[in-house]
Amino acid sequence: MSPPTESTEILLTPARRLPVWLPKALFESALIVLSVLLALGVDEWRDDRARQRRVAEALAGVRAELRENHKLVQEAGAYHSALADTFAALAARGIARPDPGVFRQGLLAPASVLRNAWESAEAAGTTNEMPYATVLQLSRVYARQAEYEAIAHALLETTYDQVARDGPDALLSRYAHYIALERDFAGRERQLAVLYDQVLRATR
């Protein structure tokens, strides 16, 4: 029988024991990994909570702004509707010129609607964190509001130009021509008020 070689001796040697420090090192490594994962999870949870707070605060501000705009538009619509009825009644009686006190707030008195809360949310990027459906509804109502403001601005400029050119007496004598305009403007304000109401209900 041939003597055992070096490789044979290695194969016949009992399995080497693990270093005594290895289980402890593995356990400590696992604890470190777990601690990192927990820390990341906590940070993500905090970030999510902070995002939810930002969105909730921004949405609350926008909803408060829309409620105020709803009230202002309703008041303006009621004024323009009443003014149209008054002008129609005076024209039916053949009154040449109404008393200036009839339109106590002016021939046109559009609502001074607000958009500060919405613009602040956009500037801060909070609208990017809101649900898409919510942003879509809010964008729609503010776009309609901007149309209302643009029409109001154009009509007021035209009225001021007429007063500057012809004088206030000429404007008073043509009051009957404004009946349709007052009714149209009141209708636009009613439509905007309905849209405000719909968006407020949808974003509760």
SS3 187: helix
Q: Tell me what the mean pLDDT of segment 117-134 comes to.
A: 94
Question: φ, ψ for residue 189 (rounded to 5)?
Answer: -70, -35
Residue 180 near residue 64 (C-beta atoms within 8 A): no
User: Any idea which of 88-92, 149-153, 172-176 has the lowest mean pLDDT?
Assistant: 172-176
Residue 58, pLDDT > 70, answer yes
Average pLDDT, the chain: 86
Report d(CA 188, CA 11) in Å as an integer. Answer: 95
Query: Cβ neighbours of residue 77 under 8 Å, at least 6 residues apart?
Result: 185, 186, 189, 190, 193
Beta strands in 72-160 (DSSP E): none
Q: Per residue in 152-192, pLDDT tens?
A: 999 999 988 988 898 888 888 899 999 999 999 999 999 99
Q: Give the DSSP letter string of 124-174.
A: HTGGGGS-HHHHHHHHHHHHHHHHHHHHHHHHHHHHHHHHHHH-HHHHHHT
Per-residue model confidence (pLDDT) at position 42: 59
Residue 186, both tokens: 């009141």
Task: List the single range of 8-22, 90-104, 109-123, 131-145 with lowest mean pLDDT.
Answer: 8-22
- pLDDT at 41 (0 to 100): 65
Mean pLDDT for 15-31 is 70
Place 200 in a pLDDT band, splitting at 50, 70 and 90.
Answer: very high
* Single pTM value for the model: 0.77
How far is 115 from 203, CA to CA, in rounded Å?
17
Q: What is the pLDDT of residue 16?
A: 62
Among 124, 141, 129, residue whose Cα is nearest residue 199: 141
- Worst-scoring range by mean pLDDT, 15-24, 59-68, 99-108, 140-149? 15-24
Long-range (24+ apart) CB contacts under 8 A made by 15-18 are none
3-class SS shares of the chain: helix, strand, coil, % to 5: 80, 0, 20
Contacts (Cβ under 8 Å, ≥6 apart) of 4: 12
pLDDT of residue 12: 45
Quote the longest CA-to-CA distance of the chain.
Answer: 140
